[in-house]
Amino acid sequence: MSHSRFKPLFALLLAVAAVLPLSFARAQGMTAEQATEMLNELKQIRQLLEKQVPPPPPPPPDENVSFEFPTSGYAMGKVDAPLVFVEYTDFECPFCQRYHLDAFEQVKKEWVDTGKVRYFSRDFPLDFHPNARRAALAARCAGDQGKYWELRNTMIKNADQLAGDRIVAYAKGVGLDVAKFEACLGSDFYKPAIDKDIAEGTKAGVTGTPSFVVGRVDKGRLVGLRLVGAMPYAQIEAKIREVMDKPAP
């Protein structure tokens, strides 16, 4: 049994014992030696409990980032938008799904469609998601037929249903030529491009999904803030405004 549940009681007993008058101890049938022994035992218990206190959590990672960022790849919004918003995603990630269900459409409506932000999608499939890399390949194969965003959105919204033939069914559902799609999917043609996205995300400090970077591109480098997790829209909006309010480099 852990001592932690008794910690408040031990602290109280120690405080009482520390000021326990000898006359009171004797009135309770305790000798001075017994009172001293009890005090010493309580001190030892306190020391043991203090050793069991976990260390404070490490500080959050620095959210300020600067890294090489080619503006090629899958993107939506004005090419000359003042800000760039990059999503590093895993198609099988439930938190990516949550972000897309709860916040993505509002980000698109308020910032992308208004010309303030150019939105980039980067792949960051995690090793413990067995279907994530295949889904990333599938989205790029859909891009060959002009349907990248359509299949991407369908797969993210069905992040828990990407096994087997589901991805091919989604491809058919968004109007792809299935034969061409399956030939592309089986070729691993886009594997190097996915690996390149992963390497870029790693340089940006990305360790999980979804992660985002919002900032400005200056001389081939993206300078801005890294955001982590399925944030609510209000929190994302605050970060975008924070970057927007900073003077351009």
Q: How confident is the prediction for the chain on average, in pLDDT?
A: 87
CB 212 within 8 A of CB 103: no
Q: How confident is the model at residue 31 (pLDDT cuts 50, 70, 90)?
A: confident
Work out the average pLDDT over 155-167. 96
Give me the pLDDT at residue 51, please.
67
Residue 18 confidence (pLDDT) above 90: no
Work out the average pLDDT over 203-211. 96
Q: What is the pTM of this model?
A: 0.76
- The string of pLDDT tens digits covering residues 60-96 is 555 999 999 999 999 999 999 999 999 999 999 999 9
Work out the average pLDDT over 107-114. 98
- Percentages helix, strand, coil for the chain (3-state, rounded to 5) are 50, 15, 35
Give me the pLDDT at residue 159, please.
97
Work out the average pLDDT over 212-218. 97
Work out the average pLDDT over 33-60. 68
- The string of pLDDT tens digits covering residues 124-150 is 999 999 999 999 999 999 999 999 999
* Cα separations in angstroms, 130 against 49, 192, 232: 43, 18, 27
Q: How confident is the model at residue 59 (pLDDT cuts 50, 70, 90)?
A: very low
Give me the pLDDT at residue 197, please.
98
Q: For residue 210, is the peptide bond before it cis, meaning its omega torsion is within 30 degrees of 0? A: yes
Classified by CATH at the fold level, domain 64-245 comes out as: Glutaredoxin (3.40.30)
Residue 118 confidence (pLDDT) above 60: yes
Give me the pLDDT at residue 6, please.
46
Closest CA to 85 of 74, 97, 96, 101: 74
Work out the average pLDDT over 3-15. 49
Give me the pLDDT at residue 32, please.
72
139 CB neighbour count, 10 Å cutoff: 27
Residue 1 confidence (pLDDT) above 50: no
Closest CA to 220 of 110, 71, 24: 71
| Annotated domain spans of the chain | 4-52, 64-245
Residue 39 confidence (pLDDT) above 90: no
Residue 64 parent element (H or E): strand 64-68
